[in-house]
Amino acid sequence: MAINWTETQIEEIVNKVVVGIQGNRTLSQSTWDSVSYCGRAFIGVYEKMEDAIAAAENGYRAVRAMSVAQREKLITVIRGMIRDEAPIMAALGVAETGMGRVDHKTAKHLLVADKTPGTEDIVPTVRTGDFGLTLTEMAPFGVVGSITPSTNPSETVLCNSIGMIAAANGVVFNPHPNAIATSNYAVDLINRASRAAGVPAVLVASMAKPTLDTANVMYKHPAIRLLVCTGGPGVVRAVLASGKKAIGAGAGNPPVIVDDTADIPKAAKDIIDGCTFDNNLPCIAEKEVFAFASIADELIAGMLKNGAYKITAAEAEKLAGIVLKDVKNPKTGIVKKAVARDCVGRDAKVLLEKIGIHVGDEIRCIICETSFDHLFVQEELMMPILPIVRVHNIDEAIELAVKAEHGNRHTAHMHSKNIDHLSRFAKAVETTIFVKNAPSYAGIGFGGEGHTTFTIAGPTGEGITSAKSFTRLRRCVMADSFRII
């Protein structure tokens, strides 16, 4: 596949990536900015949103002119390039955002390459009867406007692009301002793939300087037929208020229940593995545990064997004062707690150092016992900090876990062998994803059955989005004919 880099550029990239991965350290900023990487200008990145939308409209025309087989061929090229360049995007993501882990981000990109559905997801249906034949097709919307987060920046751009292209849409991105280079690297990858597959260069478009203003232009532009928003509550609210058809993939705060029938050593390992995946950035990752008091000590001991470090109640207060800040709403004057951005997605070791505790690299998670009201339980931290609340029975566990999920209907987890307990919690919590007896990432197809996505649309109900989520149904009726019986 033709990627127009010089040998020196390739060597430079490989060296930097290897250093980044080996030490889980970050790339030097001299190699990238929001419009280029190692001196190579990104294809499809614009200064003005109007120009980006015009390019995406051209992209839409190009993709509509392609046969299903041609789209699938293009997606195959995209998958191959994601596999090849996953370590680069992973290292760039960590370097640019300061969040997450290179090895886990690499795994997330490979998951996108392997398990994002393509054109096979677009399945027409046919109904025949006394009055003939009716065909229902999944048609493209046109140009999709997509808002993407800082937590899985290139993963979301790539996963959404595959689904949107499979459904024959054009797409313009307004990526997170803290992850522009990583997101635009992914946009460029799609456009290089389209070139390699022999279709026009700009298939998907993005912004050099995305802002709330450029997002607003997107919301109001007549060419945008569908908005897809992956982010926190503020942006999902803004997109749903736009007046356009919108898919909202919002915040979570996934609780975990561990009852007295669970395989406790396995539950301990699974919870720490899931909670620490990419330093807790995935919205599906375990955020708080409700453990039966009868097994809580054994569970905590198992976690300590798997890279957890337990802090005291006093240390938890000190840490809470650092990772959560008071933020005043300028309009209402109301003060609310918000996560300190410079703590999100950081290594457990780095967070512990902030309260004067020095540990080795083997420590990947901070655990503590708290009350239900503690901020660590109530706030979506997106850090490898896991509060554990002791409960006395399944009624209390379900009641508290449902409250802690805050009605996001996003994700919940349970470790149990009691099918009544499992069924009761699954029914009560009403989340889009419910994972039983596995790390959270099984819920997005990583060690679990089913396809993957990085846009989990709880608020608007599309669920684990895929190509068909980005389609509109169209009916074609042939009256009195084409029935063969």
Go through 118-138 and write b for each residue having 16 or more CB atoms within 10 A of its CB, e for each that does not. Answer: bbebbeeeeeeeeeebbeeeb
Smaller CB separation from ligand NAD, 80 or 177: 177
Q: In the complex with ligand NAD, which residue's Cβ is closer, 116 or 194?
A: 116
Three-class SS state of 284: coil
Tell me how far, at minimum, the Cβ of 215 lies from ligand NAD, in Å: 4
Q: How far apart are CA 162 and CA 85, in angstroms?
A: 16
Closest approach of Cβ 148 to ligand NAD, in Å?
Answer: 6
Minimum distance from residue 229 beta carbon to ligand NAD (Å): 7
Q: Smallest distance, Å, CB 455 to ligand NAD?
A: 5
Q: Is-contact 348 358, C-beta < 8 A? A: no
Least separation in angstroms between CB 145 and ligand NAD = 11
Tell me which residue has tokens 């919301």: 219
Going by C-beta distance under 8 Å and a sequence separation of 6 or more, which residues neighbour residue 348?
Answer: 276, 279, 309, 359, 363, 364, 365, 366, 384, 385
The least distance separating ligand NAD from the CB of residue 233, rounded to whole angstroms, comes to 7
Directed axis angle between helix 102-115 and helix 153-166, to 10°? Answer: 10
Distance in Å, CB of 191 to ligand NAD, minimum: 20
Residues lying near ligand NAD in the complex (CB under 6 A) = 147, 149-152, 175-177, 212, 215, 230-232, 234-235, 238, 249-252, 283, 380, 454-456
Cα→Cα distances 452→159, 213, 291, 366, 448, Å: 8, 31, 29, 28, 10
Q: Is beta strand 132-140 parallel, antiparallel or unpaired with respect to 471-479?
A: antiparallel
Question: How do beta strands 32-33 and 36-37 pair?
Answer: antiparallel
**Between 88 and 285, CB nearer to ligand NAD:** 285
Q: Are 183 and 231 in contact (CB under 8 A)?
A: no
Could you give the C-alpha distances from 190 to 55, 81, 158, 296, in angstroms and in order? 14, 9, 8, 47
| Nearer to ligand NAD (CB atom), residue 16 or residue 410 | 410
The arrangement of strands across the sheet holding 471-479 comes to 125-129, 132-140, 471-479
Which residues touch 422 (CB under 8 Å, ≥6 apart)?
Answer: 414, 416, 436
For 98, left (φ over 0), alpha (ψ -120 to 50), or beta?
left
Q: Considering just the CA atoms, what is the radius of gyration of the chain in Å?
A: 23
Shorter beta-carbon distance to ligand NAD: residue 106 or 455:
455
- DSSP H helical ranges for 167-232: 180-196, 212-220
Of 149 and 439, the one with the shorter C-beta distance to ligand NAD is 149
Minimum distance, C-beta of residue 97 to ligand NAD, in the bound complex (Å): 8
Please identify, using beta-carbon distances, which residue of 230 and 416 lies nearer to ligand NAD: 230
- Smaller CB distance to ligand NAD: residue 251 or 303? 251
Least Å distance, CB 175 to ligand NAD, is 6
Q: Decide whether 307 or 443 has the Cβ nearer to ligand NAD.
A: 443
